[in-house]
Amino acid sequence: MPGNLVIKGGLVVDPSQRLEEVRDVFVEGGKIAKKAPEGALVVDAAGCWVVPGLVDMHVHLREPGREADETIASGAAAAAAGGVTTVLAMPNTEPPLDNPSLLSLLRAKAAIDAKVNVLFAAAVSLGQRGAALTEIFRLREAGAAALSDDGRPVMDSGLMRRALEYSRDAGLLLIDHAEDLGLSAAAPMNEGPAAAAKGLRGAPWSAETIHVLRDVALCELTGAGVHIAHISAAQSVAAVRSAKKRGLPISAEAAPHHFALTDGDIEGFDADYKMNPPLRSKADREALLEGLADGTIDAIATDHAPHDGAKKAAGLALAPCGVIGLETSLGLALTLLVAKKVIDKKRLVELMSAGPARLLGLKGKGSLRPGCDGDVTIVDPKARWTVPGSFISKSRNSPFLGMNLKGRAKATIVAGEVVHAL
Amino acid sequence: MGDGSTLEPEGPALQDLSASEIESILDAAASFKKSKTSKALAGRVATLIFSEPSTSTRSSFEIAARRLSAEVLGFSTASSSLLKGETLLDTIWNLEAMGVEYFVVRHEVSGILEELAPRTKASLINAGDGAHEHPTQALLDILTLREKKGALKGLKVVIVGDILHSRVARSNIHGLKKLGAKVTVCGPRALVPSGIESLGAAVSHDLDAALSGADAVNVLRLQLERQKENFVTSLPDYYAAYGVTAERLSKIPGCAVLHPGPMNRGVEIESAAADGPQSAILEQVSNGVLVRMAVLALIEEWRSHAG
Ligand SMILES: [Zn+2]
């Protein structure tokens, strides 16, 4: 029977059930089951961790408009290869995803093309121009999973206030790309010694923190949840931590490149180290590690942003922002966070599965409780591998090429179907 | 990098040169003072690609290449067509296929030469990339100071002006530090990038304090459009705080005045300072040709050794 599985002998790590023990996991008809179904395929997970399917709440799949860089199909395949069973695609496509009909079309396409669950965030403002709100209720009816103008910040605080009020009424999470464009001034990297040495303008950390602090104030004003995308600066982490202490419904995600690298790691003028927000200082990186460990940061999300090679060849100053991440995210988290004891494996599962599933209100995801969706990632924590020069993604703009990592997805299962296996 | 007498074909970035390599370029430049011309580049073609207008650097390279008997192909470019690295690379590959071995490149984008150099067999010589480096300018500044002051070691050199956007400042800091000089960069906070002290320069925002005891001051050109971006309040206001004037220089009579040109008289420098007894600005211009001859000749030597 398709969708029937016995995942045998793995260490099941499922914080939703406070579970960390060797046992079998069953999937029947695409859902987690209590006992072994008849005629099930047996998947050997001995020596591996069996965790709820990973949820990456921040990816750019480039469809429609930039299919040379990525498509829903190629991005979903890259996700599967990285152990990710659900992705949230950002709406800064060409044209932007700002209306219910385009959303319906894309959801229909994803249902056919994608190996994993592809969810869509709809734009906050029409055309992502920051002037007029999108039709939030109709977008929800059409299946929007969140709202975001990602790629651009919502610069107008009045518009942001209304967007938060409506996102609360509609029950959709608002995800903000926090950046004051006047302060960042399109600088290609972080302000500091590395930019000074290269002769490039730098964007200060405060460009992000100012908007995080604004969002905290608007969160308090409206009572609506705000989620800070790709948090990168120490002061932003501190702002989120103190807002959480006051009980405000604020959350944040961090990207692997920000917890792995600093602006001092940028090789020459290599544009594969260019993204927005930029790689920041050592102190910022350490603050992210602390925030990941202490619960200030709720999710690890890649900000997977494919660009084909020619665009990145323009160099650090001119190339577009963004790096791919779906195929390296789990390996980096295992190598740099779990192996270095920044976090334990339970916390890893919270950050990469249960946390983002909870933030997006995804029932049946982020947990291996019977009745939940049969989305499972089998992690081989001991597998040593080197990030290769080619990817399942259509693009290869990664700063991690050639890096040695320990741990990766051995198999990825979506609704009981094995969509990736080593 | 080689044994100190030759340069790799990427051409110098001062950040990557050792003190002895810098000295050997300066020595080679000084030797051209006597011998004026040579056949070092006979039969070679040097192409000048400038995506920003610069009469003086361009003329200086052209004269240098001709004195070494190279043929010179001047390249007028619409900056927009070359802004993208790929277009520039295509141009270089085409000319390389026609036998051009030397490209002198000026480009408004920091780091563009580092991106292009590994992708061509020709030698790219940096005539200024964005706010990153302008190696031959720093070399000619340093040669001029060496002639004026003898050794560079222990000299106090102040670089004043728009440090944020200045390739001249960065190359000078690298070169001067390697030769043992003490460097202070001075300008309003808006034009001094945070973290510049990591290159080994002291930072000041008070010109009079910075100039006290200085052996040389290198006055940077202020791009007039900086005012539109609010980097400066007004040009007269800038001049009041950071203009190098004869009055300021009168307190430090031993201080040499350098300027990479072209000057905005009355904005960053007073005419009486630019043309006065402490000015070494015309010597800089003469030394520019010699330094560029030295760089081209040393790279040719490297290329012939490398076969
Ligand atoms: Zn973003």
SS (H, E, C) chain A: CCCCEEEEEEEEEEHHHCEEEEEEEEEECCEEECCCCCCCEEEECCCCEEEECEEEEEECCCCCCCCCCCCHHHHHHHHHHCCEEEEEECCCCCCCCCCHHHHHHHHHHHHHHCCCEEEEEECCEHHHCCCCECCHHHHHHCCCCEEECCCCCCCCHHHHHHHHHHHHHHCCEEEECCCCHHHHCCCCEECCHHHHHHCCCEECCHHHHHHHHHHHHHHHHHCCCEEECCCCCHHHHHHHHHHHHCCCCEEEEECHHHHHCCHHHCCCCCHHHCCCCCCCCHHHHHHHHHHHHHCCCCEECCCECCCCHHHHCCCCCCCCCCECCCCCHHHHHHHHHHCCCCCCHHHHHHHHHHHHHHHCCCCCCCCCCCCCECCEEEEEEEEEEECCCCCCCCCCCCCCCCCEEEEEEEEEEECCEEEEEC
B residues 138-167 closer than 8 Å to A (CB):
164-167
**Residue B257 pLDDT:** 98
CA separation for the pair B93, B90 (Å, rounded)? 5
| A317 with B114: Cβ contact below 8 A | no
Q: Taking CB atoms and an 8 Å cutoff, what residues of chain A touch B132? A: 198-200
Half-sphere exposure of B231 (CA within 13 A, CB side): 19
Q: Does B91 touch chain A (CB under 8 A)?
A: no
| A199 with B170: Cβ contact below 8 A | yes
Mean pLDDT of A338-367: 98
Of A196, A199, A269, the CB nearest to B198: A196
Q: Taking CB atoms and an 8 Å cutoff, what residues of chain B touch A313? A: 85-86, 115
Counted across chains A and B, CB pairs separated by less than 8 A come out at 82
Lookup: tokens for B263: 């000057």
Q: Does A389 touch chain B (CB under 8 A)?
A: no
**Residue A21 scores a pLDDT above 50:** yes
CA separation for the pair A279, A94 (Å, rounded)? 26
| A310 with B132: Cβ contact below 8 A | no
**pLDDT-based confidence at residue A1 (cuts at 50, 70, 90):** low
**Residue B1 pLDDT:** 35
CA separation for the pair A229, A225 (Å, rounded)? 13
Q: Which residue of A has its CA nearest to B195?
A: A193
Q: Does A310 touch chain B (CB under 8 A)?
A: yes
Q: What are the angstrom distances between the C-alpha of A311 and each of A320, A323, B70?
A: 7, 12, 35
CA separation for the pair A207, A185 (Å, rounded)? 9
State in Å: Cα A150 to ligand 1 middle: 5
Q: Does B132 touch chain A (CB under 8 A)?
A: yes
Interface mutation vs chain A, best among B119, B194, B197, B230, most A CBs within 10 Å: B194
The C-alpha angle A99, A103, A104, rounded to 5 degrees, equals 120
A69-103 pLDDT, tens digit per residue, is 999 999 999 999 999 999 999 999 999 999 999 99
A154-173 pLDDT, tens digit per residue, is 999 999 999 999 999 999 99
Sign of torsion, CA A253 A259 A262 A268?
negative
**Residue A226 scores a pLDDT above 60:** yes
Q: Does B174 touch chain A (CB under 8 A)?
A: no
Q: Taking CB atoms and an 8 Å cutoff, what residues of chain B touch A268? A: 111, 114-115
Of A192, A198, A313, the CB nearest to B110: A198
Q: What are the angstrom distances between the C-alpha of A37 and each of A1, A24, A47, A419?
A: 9, 12, 23, 20
Structure letter (DSSP) for residue B265: B
| B111 with A192: Cβ contact below 8 A | no
Q: Does B133 touch chain A (CB under 8 A)?
A: yes
Axis-axis angle for helices A234-245, A282-294 (nearest 10): 30
Q: Does A314 touch chain B (CB under 8 A)?
A: yes
| B109 with A195: Cβ contact below 8 A | no
Q: Which residues does A36 contact at the CB level (< 8 Å), separation at least 6?
A: A6, A24, A26
SS (H, E, C) B223-264: CHHHHCCCCCCCHHHHHHHHCECHHHHHCCCCCEEECCCCCC
**Residue B76 pLDDT:** 61
**Residue B4 pLDDT:** 39
Q: Which of A16-20, B151-155, B222-226 has the lowest mean pLDDT?
A: B222-226
Mean pLDDT of B238-246: 96
State in Å: Cα A413 to ligand 1 middle: 28
Distance from CA of A199 to the nearest CA of B (A): 4
Strands A31-33 and A19-28: antiparallel
**Residue B160 scores a pLDDT above 80:** yes
Q: Does A195 touch chain B (CB under 8 A)?
A: yes
CA separation for the pair B148, B155 (Å, rounded)? 11
State in Å: Cα A229 to ligand 1 middle: 6
Interface mutation vs chain A, best among B82, B84, B87, most A CBs within 10 Å: B84
Mean pLDDT of B122-145: 95
CA separation for the pair A147, A177 (Å, rounded)? 11
**Residue B91 pLDDT:** 86
Q: Does A119 touch chain B (CB under 8 A)?
A: no
Q: Which residue of B has its CA nearest to A202?
A: B193
B52-63 pLDDT, tens digit per residue, is 778 899 999 999
Contact B137, B57 (CB under 8 A): yes
A260-311 pLDDT, tens digit per residue, is 999 999 999 999 999 999 999 999 999 999 999 999 999 999 999 999 888 8
How many CB atoms are located within 10 Å of the residue B282 CB? 12
B112-124 pLDDT, tens digit per residue, is 888 888 889 999 9
Sign of torsion, CA B273 B275 B278 B284?
positive
* Residues B14-133+288-306, CATH architecture: 3-Layer(aba) Sandwich (3.40)
**pLDDT-based confidence at residue B3 (cuts at 50, 70, 90):** very low
Lookup: tokens for A387: 């990030």
Q: Which residues does A368 contact at the CB level (< 8 Å), separation at least 6?
A: A12, A14, A16, A17, A19, A25, A32, A50, A51, A52, A376
| A269 with B84: Cβ contact below 8 A | no
* Residues B135-285, CATH architecture: 3-Layer(aba) Sandwich (3.40)
- Of the candidates B129, B8, B92, which has an alpha carbon nearest to the alpha carbon of residue A269? B129
Q: Does B246 touch chain A (CB under 8 A)?
A: no
**Residue A281 pLDDT:** 98
Lookup: tokens for B291: 């330094």
| B85 with A318: Cβ contact below 8 A | yes
Q: Which residue of A has its CA nearest to B129?
A: A199
Structure letter (DSSP) for residue B220: P
Mean pLDDT of A398-415: 98
> Residue B173 phi/psi, 5° resolution?
-60, -50
Sign of torsion, CA A98 A101 A105 A107?
positive
Q: What is the mean pLDDT of chain B?
A: 91
CA separation for the pair A32, A49 (Å, rounded)? 16
Q: Where do the DSSP E strands lie in B115-176? A: 123-129, 156-160
Indicate the length of chain A as a whole number: 422
User: Is B135-285 in the same CATH topology as B14-133+288-306?
Assistant: yes
Q: What is the mean pLDDT of chain A?
A: 97
Q: Does B177 touch chain A (CB under 8 A)?
A: no
A residues 233-262 closer than 8 Å to B (CB):
none
Cut 0.80: pTM above it: yes
Q: Where are the domains of chain B?
A: 14-133+288-306, 135-285
> Residue A384 phi/psi, 5° resolution?
-95, 135
Of A191, A310, A318, the CB nearest to B194: A191
Q: Where are the domains of chain A?
A: 53-365
Distance of CA A179 to the CA centre of its chain: 18
**Residue A25 pLDDT:** 98
Task: Establish whether A303 is a catalytic residue.
Answer: yes
- Of the candidates A417, A256, A253, A217, which has an alpha carbon nearest to the alpha carbon of residue A334? A256
Q: Residue type at B27?
A: D
What topology is assigned to A53-365 in CATH? TIM Barrel (3.20.20)
Of B84, B109, B195, the CB nearest to A196: B195
Of the residues A98, A149, A150, A303, which is catalytic? A303
Lookup: tokens for A144: 């929007």
- For B15: left if phi > 0, alpha if psi spans -120 to 50, otherwise beta; the answer is alpha
Q: Which residue of B has its CA nearest to A281?
A: B195
State in Å: Cα A244 to ligand 1 middle: 22
**Residue B90 scores a pLDDT above 80:** yes
Interface mutation vs chain A, best among B114, B129, B137, B168, most A CBs within 10 Å: B114
Q: Does A200 touch chain B (CB under 8 A)?
A: yes
**Residue B210 pLDDT:** 98
